[in-house]
Structure 1
Amino acid sequence: MTDVPSDEFAPRPKLLTPQVLQQLCTRSNAQGALRTLSHYGAIIGVGALIGVIASTHGVLWALPLLPVQGVLIAFLFMAVHETAHKTAFDSRRLNLAIGNLSGFLIGLPYDYYCLFHWEHHRHTQDPLRDPELIVGPKPRSETQLAIAYSGLLQVAGRLRLLLKHAVTGKVTVPWVPAGRRATIVREARAYATGYALLLLGSVALHSALLLWIWVLPLLLGQLILRPYLYAEHTGCDHTRSAFHNTRTTFTTRIVHWLAWNMPYHVEHHAYPAVPFHALPKLHAIVDGEIKYRGQGYVAVTRHTWAWFRDQFDGTKFGSK
């Protein structure tokens, strides 16, 4: 995906000179490798611990680790997102490799997501053109809202779309141009083949290991990822300015690590060419321009939940 230009309506604080912005946009293989290795290292470590405990003491003893593993795997969405912008690494090949690996692990085809996300940046908070407002569940009751916040419908939806692309060979969503549809079909078929081979291998080996260290944790992790994603734009203005249509949420260091600094989401939308590791510096410069400032994800989730409840009449919704 080509980098989206800076928001044409974004304020330009005096300290954010062209020279400073150019420095902030410097990409780093070292920074990308450090974040990737630490994230994947944590997944491998917790997964290995689940496997050892399950094999020596039984699966029940490993259950408390499944939510931890789930959050780590689900938040590989952030690796897909950063590599979609080609800012995780200076190397294009590394961006593509980590993007596809992470996309495969969370059931989100990488090339498809790049096109989806490009459209989101172009039309953020536009009810008619932002794909995050077009797709996904439209809750109209407390029960439907709770299901939406579980993230399971979103996962089921993208896997269903993947299978549709793979089986029918047809791509009809408007954010995939005609010239890219064949690529999206090939990608879907490659992902589907990979999942089928892993399933067949597990059956042949009579092993449920992948179920316990990958599939079930991924589903559990949506319970944290989905509220996090809803915090990014829900309840913000329907305007072109990233400083008004997006929310930055102030949170802990561990969440910043897990989310690849994307709690600085206003900063990212205003200047999407700035890589994840430079967002704290960018925040220090543009902080005073931010309209929506969340004070922790618990408080913001209460706010977004209340916002959705107010929309039960079906007039407008936000989704990701």
Structure 2
Amino acid sequence: MPNLTQHLRHSDGVWPLTLVLAYILITYIGGWLLMARPGFLLPALGVIACGHGMVIAAYLVHDCAHNALFKKTEHNTRLGKWLNWVSGGSYGTYEDLRYKHMRHHVDNADPISFDYRAWLKAHPKIEKVIFALEWCYIPAVDILMHAVLMVAPFTPIGNPAHRKRAAAVLVTRFALLATLAVWSVKAVLLYALAYGLALTVLRFFDAYQHNYEIVVNLNDPHAELPHKGNREYEQNNTYSNLVSRRWPVLNLLVLNFCYHNAHHAKPTMPWYKLPALHNELFGDTYTRTVGMKGQVKSYHRNRIAGIYAETYGQVEVPAALRDGKAVPVYGLSFLTAF
């Protein structure tokens, strides 16, 4: 595949890119077909397949945002925009998504423009619903953030220049869903479940990767922050939350996004090179690598406290996770540019 190779940032990237794109298409489309089948087992497999396809698409969007796949920004942008539709983040622009994520890397903070915490406190009835849904393990905060992404251009918090695009995206996506409902109402209803599953996975792996400060300054590109550009602070406050140390292949379930210290060390390194980079830079005994058991325990115990959490606190995250005391932080997905 010489034509593709010459456009790739890394010459060995042809087969990894081909395979991951094939996986996304097979699981996403295959998931829809399975969700429409009668019975329980095949539709259940369809929900998992479709949801996982969206997860992998989202993490590949992340690689595109860092120009980790192609040499030219325009090629990464084209693929990133298409993947953004698959992952369900297309209500916001790819450019805004990328800008927010680059600020995260440069500022060593999590910049936002919409503070859902303050908004919930001002709307106590909705707050009660969010608390109830989160108690039931439904990612209500992230659903809220995606809803904000849909309507933002029509409100004071959004960019009015994006109204035509936002309206076109809303009409297109809902028309597609309506068409699919004619084919199978069951599949459309189960797609909502698959979408919720994807949001849960994405926010779970976001929740314990940093203990950065959340700052409401996304619209201020000149904001001064105390740790901006500080590489030592960046690594000391970043954590690699591996699915498994013993069986590294399992980390492909989240496209190696969990090798987060390696990613922050070299952001343009593509997903398939991160395990080797992690081993080269940190080795197997790296103290910033946290285990899955502690993450699950902390997420379960502190899922309600996470609604208003803004940082992990001043304790060491690995120790807090081992004790089941680490509080997750919600609403920071790179798919929501707010």
Please, what TM-score do these two structures have when normalized by structure 1? 0.69
Residue pair 1:232, 1:247 contacting (<8 A) in 2 also: yes
Which residue does 1:20 correspond to in 2? none
Q: Counterpart in 2 of 1:196? A: 174
Equivalents in 2 of 1:313, 1:92: separation in Å? 36
Correspondence for 1:116: 100
Residue 253 to residue 49, structure 1, CA distance change in 2 (3 Å): farther
1:72 matched residue in structure 2: 53
Contact 1:88 1:275 in 2 (8 A): yes
Q: Please name the residue that 2:216 is paired with.
A: none
Distance of 2:10 and 2:26 partners within structure 1: 25
1:233 counterpart SS class: coil
Q: Is the 8 A contact 1:71 1:225 kept in 2?
A: no
Give the structure 2 partner of residue 38 of structure 1: 23
Look up the equivalent residue of 1:104 and give its one-letter code.
W
**For residues 99 and 136 of structure 2, what CA distance do their matches in structure 1 show?**
23
1:89 aligns with 2:70: yes
Alpha-carbon separation, structure 2, partners of 1:132 and 1:148: 26
Q: 2: CA distance between counterparts of 1:304 and 1:131?
A: 23
* Aligned AA (1:162): M
Give, in angstroms, the shift of residue 201 of structure 1: 2.6
Which amino acid is 2:151 matched to?
L
Per the alignment, residue 237 of structure 2 pairs with 245
CA distance in 1, matches of 2:210, 2:198: 20
1: distance between equivalents of 2:275 and 2:267? 14
- Structure 2 residue 262 is the aligned partner of structure 1 residue 277: no
- Cα distance, 1:306 vs. partner? 5.9
Inter-CA distance 186–271: structure 2 relative to 1 (3 Å threshold): farther
In the alignment, the residues of structure 2 paired with residue 214 and residue 309 of structure 1 have an alpha-carbon distance, to the nearest angstrom, of 25
Q: Which runs of 5+ in 2 are unaligned?
A: 1-8, 121-126, 214-225, 313-328, 333-338
Alpha-carbon displacement from aligned partner over 1:182-236 (angstroms, at most 9, x marks no partner): 7754543342232132134345x36426515633311133333322221222589
Post-superposition CA distance 1:249-290 (Å, at most 9, x none): 232445422322111101111221222222122112211595
Tell me, yes or no, if the aligned pair for 1:152 and 1:222 is still in contact at 8 Å: no
The letter of the residue matching 1:117 is H
Counterpart Cα distance in 2 of 1:88 and 1:214? 29
CA distance in 1, matches of 2:294, 2:67: 32
- Paired-residue identity, %: 18
Contact 2:24 2:56 in 1 (8 A): no
- Return closer, same or farther for 1:149/1:190 CA change in 2, 3 Å cut-off: same
Aligned residues: 274
Q: 2:152 aligns with which of 138, 156, 164?
A: 164
2:63, 2:268 within 8 Å by CA — same for their partners in 1?
Answer: no
Look up the match of 1:62: 42
Deviations 1:13-63 (A, max 9, x none): xxxxxxxxxxxx747651323322223323333333333xx1xxx254434
Partner AA of 2:26 in structure 1: G
Q: Secondary structure at the match of 1:150?
A: coil
Change over 3 Å in CA distance of 1:294–1:183 after alignment to 2:
farther
Q: Aligned pair in 2 of structure 1 residues 91, 211: CA closer, same or farther (>3 Å)?
A: farther
Amino acid at match of 1:39: I
Counterpart of 1:293 (choices 289, 296, 309) is: 289
Distance in structure 2 (CA, Å) of the matches to 1:301 and 1:260: 19
Cα 1:86–1:280 shift into 2, 3 Å: same
| TM-fit CA distance, 1:116 | 1.6
Question: Measured at CA, do residues 161 and 42 of structure 1 come closer, stay the same or move farther in structure 2, by a change above 3 Å?
Answer: closer
RMSD: 3.9
Task: Specify whether residues 187 and 86 from structure 1 end up closer, same or farther in structure 2 by C-alpha distance, changes over 3 A only.
Answer: farther
**Alpha-carbon distance, 1:299 to partner:** 2.2
Within a 5 Å distance, the mapping from 1:48-59 to structure 2 comes to 48-51=33-36, 54=37, 58-59=38-39
- Pairing 1:150–2:127 present: no
1:308-319 map, 5 Å: 316=311, 318-319=329-330
Query: Is the Cα contact below 8 Å between 2:29 and 2:50 reproduced in 1?
Result: no
Q: How does 1:167-246 map to 2 (within 5 A)?
A: 167-168=154-155, 172=158, 181=159, 184-185=162-163, 187-202=165-180, 205=182, 207-208=184-185, 210-212=187-189, 214-234=191-211, 240=230, 241-246=233-238
SS in 1 for 2:282: helix
Supply the distance in 2 between the matched residues of 1:211 and 1:131 (Cα, whole angstroms): 34
Letter in 1 for 2:147: L
Amino acid across the alignment from 1:78: Y
Higher relative contact order (CA 8 A, sep 6+): 1
